[in-house]
Amino acid sequence: MAPISDSLSRIGLVGLAVMGQNLALNIAEKGFPISVYNRTSNKVDETVERAKHEGNLPVRGFHDPEAFVLSIQKPRAVIILVKAGSPVDQTIETLSKFLEPGDCVIDGGNEWYENTERRAASVKEKGLLYLGMGVSGGEEGARYGPSLMPGGTPEAYEYIEDIVTKVAAQVNDGPCVTYIGEGGAGNFVKMVHNGIEYGDMQLIAEAYDVLKSVGGLSNQELAAAFTEWNEGELESFLIEITSHIFQVKDDKGEAELVDKILDKTGMKGTGKWTVQQAAELSVAAPTIAASLDSRFLSGLKEEREAAAQVFREAGVKDILATKEVDKQQLVTDVRKALYASKICSYAQGMNIIRSKSIEKGWNLDLGEISRIWKGGCIIRAVFLDRIKQAYDRNPKLASLLVDPEFAKEMVERQEAWRRVVSLAISVGISTPGMTASLAYFDSYRRSRLPANLLQAQRDYFGAHTYERVDVPGTFHTEWSKLAKLAKIG
C-alpha cells in the first residue's frame, strides 16, 4: 500500500453499534488510523470519546458522509457494519456518491450471500471493488481479535490484508483470517459457521438438561463438570462460558440467575438460512436442523405450558430427578455423547460448505476455514485443530466421520452416546440434537438402508422407476397388477 498521509486515515468504518465501535477501536489500536461515520451522530462522538479514553487511539469521527470518504487514503477501503438488508443498500448508495473507481466497500454484517454477489455486480459498474466479510466473536472478539471471513474480489482483499491479519485473533499457526473465495463465499462460510454454532449450543443445552433433570446435578456441580470438560477434548469458548453461567448469582433474588431466565430462545436468521441451504444442496444436516426446530419450539412457551397440563392430566408424569443414576458415570457418558454429537454437527456444516463450493466453483479450502475458526469466533475450540489436521491428511475427505482419527473416537464413544440418548428417551426428556446426530451416524455407517422400500413405493404410485443392485439400468414395475396376480393386493 502507498504510505499514509498525516492528514488521511488508512481505512474507514460506517455503522457504530456495538460491533462497529469495537472493531474500529481494534483497528486503531493495531496502529491503523481510522475514520468513522454513523447516520446517528451521537454514536460518532461516543466512539471518538472511547478512543481517547482507551489510549488516545487514532480514530477520527465524521458527521458528514462526503467528509468521511474524503478523509480516507486512496485507494479507499470502507467497512460497513449496519443491519443486513436494505440498510446496507442505502449505505452503499450514500457512500458511492463520493467513492471513486478503485475504491473498495467491505460489508462486515451477517448478510445473505446472494445479496453480496448482487451488490458486488452493482458497484462494479461504478468501478468499485466489493468484499462480504463475515465477522465472528461478538463484541469482545471485535474489540480484541475476531475470526474474519472475507470473500469477494481478490484485489479488494489485498487492500486490507495488512490490517485484518493484525486485527484478527492470533492462534499458534497464524491470524484467524484468510481470503475465503470469490463472490459471496465469505458470507456463506460465516452463515454455516452460525449454523454449526446453533448445533453446538443445542447439544450443550441437552447435556445440561440430562445432567440436571435426570442426574439431579446442582448448578455448582454443573459448573464443576463443565469446568472439567473445558480442560479436555471439549475445551472451547462455549463450554467455558457455560461453566461461568452456572456460577452467576441472581442479583434480584436468591440462587443462580440461569434458573430465572425464560426458556424461550431468540435467533437472527443465519441458522434458518443454513438449514435452507442444506435442503437446496441435498445435504443432510439433521443436527443443525434439530437445533433450529428446538428454537422454534422454545418460542411456543404458552402452548408448551398448556400442553404440559393436558398431558399431566392424561397421565404423563413430570420429569424429575427420580431415576437412580451414578452421577459420575452420567457426567462421563454425557461428555462422550456431546463430543460424538459435535463431530456429526461439524461434519454436516463442512459438507454444506463443500457442496456449495463445488456448485459455485469457489474452490474453498476446508482445512484453512477450520483453522481460522480456532480463535476469535463463537465456535472456537481445540477440536478445530483436529478438523484442520483431518483435511490436511485428506483435502478431499468425504466426511469428517470417516477420517481415521475421528472414526476411532466415534466408535470409542458410541456406547456412552447410546446410553445417554436411551436414558433421555426413557424418562421423556427431548434430546433432538444428540438423537439426530446418532441417527445420522447410524445411517451414514450402514452400507444398506431401507430406501429400497421407499423407491419401490415411489415407483408403485408414481412410476418414478428404480435401479437394481444386480443389473444395470432403470426399471419400472406394474406393482398393483403383479400384487393382484399374487393374490396379496
- What's the pLDDT tens digit per position in 90-119? 999 999 999 999 999 999 988 899 999 999
Contact 165, 150 (CB under 8 A): no
Distance CA 431, CA 286 (A): 13
Section 20-34 average pLDDT: 97
What pLDDT, on a 0 to 100 scale, did the predictor assign at position 488? 58
What pLDDT, on a 0 to 100 scale, did the predictor assign at position 12? 97
Could you tell me the pTM of the whole model?
Answer: 0.92
11-14 and 34-37 beta bridge pairing: parallel
Q: Please, which pLDDT band fits residue 319 given cuts at 50, 70 and 90?
A: low
Q: Is the dihedral of CA 232, 228, 336, 440 positive or negative?
A: negative
> Is 195 within any annotated ligand binding site?
no
> Is 39 within any annotated ligand binding site?
yes
Contact 274, 352 (CB under 8 A): yes
CA dihedral 244, 246, 250, 255 (to 10 degrees): -140
What pLDDT, on a 0 to 100 scale, did the predictor assign at position 84? 87
> Is 1 within any annotated ligand binding site?
no
> Is 262 within any annotated ligand binding site?
no
Environment class of 470 (CB within 10 Å of its CB; exposed 0-12, middle 13-18, buried 19+): exposed
> Is 17 within any annotated ligand binding site?
yes
What pLDDT, on a 0 to 100 scale, did the predictor assign at position 7? 83
> Is 252 within any annotated ligand binding site?
no
What pLDDT, on a 0 to 100 scale, did the predictor assign at position 5? 47
- Among candidate residues 29, 111, 182, 190, the one labeled active-site is 190
Local structure of 56: helix, strand or coil:
coil
Write the pLDDT tens digit of every residue in 375-405: 988 898 889 999 999 999 999 999 999 999 9
**Per the structure block, which three cell numbers stand in for 278?**
442444506
Distance CA 428, CA 320 (A): 10
Distance CA 424, CA 210 (A): 7
- Bridge partners of 467? 474
Distance CA 275, CA 289 (A): 6
Instruction: Confirm whether 197 is a catalytic residue.
Output: yes
Section 304-332 average pLDDT: 85
What pLDDT, on a 0 to 100 scale, did the predictor assign at position 406? 96
> Is 152 within any annotated ligand binding site?
no
> Is 464 within any annotated ligand binding site?
yes
> Is 56 within any annotated ligand binding site?
no
Spell out the long-range contacts of 449-454 with Cβ–Cβ below 8 A and sequence spacing 24 or more: none
Q: Is the dihedral of CA 66, 67, 68, 69 positive or negative?
A: positive
**Residue owning grid cell 447435556:** 207
Q: Is the pLDDT of residue 271 over 50?
A: yes
Write the pLDDT tens digit of every residue in 222-266: 999 999 999 999 999 999 999 999 999 998 888 899 999 999 988
Distance CA 285, CA 416 (A): 22
Local structure of 459: helix, strand or coil:
helix
**Per the structure block, which three cell numbers stand in for 230?**
473445558
**Helix (H), strand (E) at residue 226:** helix 219-229
> Is 443 within any annotated ligand binding site?
no
Q: Please, which pLDDT band fits residue 323 given cuts at 50, 70 and 90?
A: low
Local structure of 38: helix, strand or coil:
coil
Section 341-363 average pLDDT: 96
> Is 431 within any annotated ligand binding site?
no
474-475 and 466-467 beta bridge pairing: antiparallel
Section 423-437 average pLDDT: 95
Q: Please, which pLDDT band fits residue 270 given cuts at 50, 70 and 90?
A: confident
Q: Is the pLDDT of residue 483 over 50?
A: yes
- Among candidate residues 197, 212, 272, 388, the one labeled active-site is 197
Q: Please, which pLDDT band fits residue 268 given cuts at 50, 70 and 90?
A: confident
> Is 476 within any annotated ligand binding site?
no
Share of the chain above pLDDT 90, in %: 88
Instruction: Confirm whether 478 is a catalytic residue.
Output: no
- How much is the mean pLDDT over the chain? 93
